[in-house]
A and B are shown apart, each in its own frame.
Chain A
């Protein structure tokens, strides 16, 4: 009982994660605390049991006898089959719930269901993806192409979403704002406004990771991918490529700047006009 309480206490007081800066990060941290509590209880319990056994039942000097010939105990076996099974089941259901709240369980290529997308692949859902496909990869769009949803695609409310097109290539991320024709090497977003990233990879697999958002999504060539999130805390956070992509993989980093709303408007205006003024070649990349 003391073990359970101390495990819970450790879980509640653990503070080893970076700042939580997106809408789904606090939900993630909740799961982390639960997992940490259960893990601590188990680990401390087994550690204690092991060390106790090694000390209490160590072989004394000169003792050459054997231990007790206990070959098994069915009730004990059932007990320690059932307990982990229940714990695992609980964790599974709980994390499923968390995943749902983070928006992970919505079908792919929303609003079409995945099976729908597969069956009616000829026409309906391939409009957007096919266009992106054609424009970026330069290969003829296949009828079955569709946008793969990452985690968080369920939170998108169509009203005030900020769409950003992300291109990942060796060894940089490029962010393009279709609303204002801005191309930037950094991602600028507005606090409280949902963001929808349409991500594409040019050459090899990259992954978009913002630790403070608790989000990661592989960007696979040939599979345009949607990722959406809502930043809730102003500040600058690193964007990290998390999939080995070549020699400069470790240097493939960028920054996401979460602005207060008025700041963001200023930034957007400034860069928007600048880009338009300069040229069609979007050369204001950082």
Chain B
């Protein structure tokens, strides 16, 4: 049901904002421009982080430290973690899709605070380049993305201080974004649109933003204290000066465990948007989905010490955090069963967006199962700080979130550009990413169980073969970006014209032109009270199934 309106450039009054492609390099206040700025910048840093990951996998292809120096190796692994988390996943899954979609979903013309929004984005490139530059000027931080003292106090100070500065800027950007999303979802809704009528991604972003606003300041404070320890030789976390290194770990994980939910909750939301459209069915169990997001937000705040079971944690603490962590599986499980029920009985289009989303379900279920196992203290004591945890974590954030990012790009690219991505290339991209990813990270669970610690440049030669398999997988993952990049650039100029609503979707971003005009709609914003109103009622399966849907897609 595509209504092909040619994307007409309206004769809008000349403003101070630049037009054309230049606006993507400007301090634009348009939420769609900012969203795409986040996306492109994030993808650039993804390539940087991927190159760093490649260096790690090359080093680990042989059991001795022979590719890069040991100190360089530690710089590389620190940068890889920091870049991937703070400059790729968090900005893209929150900033990019959040900024692009949330105003549409609430029926607004822009975010609540457009200038704050632009500031939040423009903090990212300088922070990112600062971090990367530190590698070339005097050496980057070497203490891992966790920066545990006393190690972070004894490694070269300049790199560590730059790292702290960069993470503080990125954390600030994240907080600005979080405040903006909360305000937009709560206050900018179109009159008549109720909270329980919002698309699920709004709820996911609301939950995520609450986590951001509650926990990121704790990280900021912690890092400020850590920088005092480095620069002014205070002793907050330095045992030699009477400080306590474990307190840092508590404070760090008080942010950094919720950070995992900051990375996956938006992905949950995006999947909830993609599946109903391509399965042609309503999202199953809307209300329970909302409550499980809220439950994850609450539980996500009280599980941080499960990262510290081998530190000096007292038994009661171990018991409490085991149970709290394991219980996160319940609301998360509800979401996964609901997605499976959404697929069940649908008419599923096996396109790239759907394949990436389904692979996400598979990977995240696997990562969730190993996660519940890791929550059990006796199990964790054996595999903590090993490649088992590396495997688990990448199943959650790469197999989970990054797969969703790709699926979402295939889903929303027609809206961003007005053109479709090539499906054959897309499915090819999916296939190598899927094989490469599983080849790279599944064997790492075995490595961890059998005695390979993480963050090492050299290892027991008995693990050589499995590490080489993992490196081959990493190579495939690196290659898999090529068809994607080719697809994105080629389709931007000569892809099939998409029309306004190529997927025949009901959510509000599809009820305008592709790409949408400044301020989103020509006329009044549409009031969408049933964003997932797909499907025919069970009694009328044989009738022509188009009635309600056509009303939505044509009526504004």
Interface 0/1 of A58-72, CB less than 8 Å to B: 111001011111111
Question: Given known contacts A17-B450, A211-B382, A244-B148, is B239 in contact with A222 (CB within 8 Å)?
Answer: yes
* Nearest CB of B to A252, in Å: 9
Query: Nearest Cβ in chain B — how far from A249, in angstroms?
Result: 6
**Nearest B-chain residue to A69, judged by Cβ:** B535
- Binary contact track B306-323/A, C-beta < 8 Å → 1, others 0: 000011101100110011
Residue of A32, A71, A139 most packed against chain B (CB within 10 A): A71
B285 interface residue (CB < 8 Å to A): yes
The residues of B that contact A246 with a CB separation of less than 8 Å are 74, 142, 151, 154-155
Q: How far is the CB of A24 from chain B (nearest CB, A)?
A: 8
A188 to chain B, nearest CB (A): 20
Contact bitstring A112-141, B, C-beta under 8 A = 1, else 0? 001000000000000000000000010100
Contact A50 B343 (CB under 8 A): yes
Residues of B within 8 A of A225 (CB): 312
A178 within 8 A of partner (CB): no
The verdict on A159 contacting chain B, using a C-beta distance below 8 Å, is: no
Residue from B150, B334, B349, B350 with most neighbouring chain A CB atoms (10 Å):
B150
Separation of A207 and B310 alpha carbons in the complex (Å): 8
Q: Is the CB of B246 within 8 A of A223?
A: yes
Task: Find out whether the CB atom of B151 lies under 8 angstroms from the CB atom of A16.
Answer: no
B545 at the A interface (CB under 8 A): yes
Establish whether residues B333 and A77, one from each chain, have CB atoms under 8 Å apart when the complex forms.
no
Task: Select the residue from A49, A66, A88, A139 with max chain B CB neighbours within 10 A.
Answer: A66
Q: Given A57-B344, A67-B279: A241 and B315 within 8 A (CB)?
A: no
Give a binary string over A80-102; 1 marks a CB under 8 Å from any B CB, 0 the rest.
Answer: 11001100100110011011001
Q: Which of A28, A88, A209, A250 contacts B327 (CB 8 A)?
A: A88
A47 close to B362 (CB less than 8 A): yes
Please report the total number of B residues contacting A with Cβ < 8 Å.
Answer: 99
Point out the residue from B310, B314, B369 that lies within 8 Å of A42, measured CB to CB: B369
Contact B348 A242 (CB under 8 A): no
Measured between beta carbons, the chain B residues less than 8 angstroms from A98 are: 376, 378
User: Please, which residues of chain A bring their CB within 8 A of the CB of B322?
Assistant: 92, 95-96
Q: List 20 A-B contacts (CB under 8 A).
A: A39-B373, A46-B336, A50-B361, A59-B347, A60-B347, A68-B537, A69-B536, A81-B330, A84-B334, A96-B319, A99-B377, A151-B377, A207-B310, A209-B451, A211-B382, A225-B312, A243-B385, A244-B144, A247-B74, A250-B65
Chain A: residues with CB nearer than 8 A to chain B? 16-18, 27-28, 31-32, 35, 38-39, 42-43, 46-47, 49-50, 53-54, 57-60, 63, 65-73, 76-77, 80-81, 84-85, 88, 91-92, 95-96, 98-99, 102, 104-108, 114, 137, 139, 142, 148, 150-151, 203-205, 207, 209, 211-212, 214-218, 220-223, 225, 238, 240-251
Closest 4 CB pairs of A and B: A222-B239, A250-B456, A69-B535, A211-B451
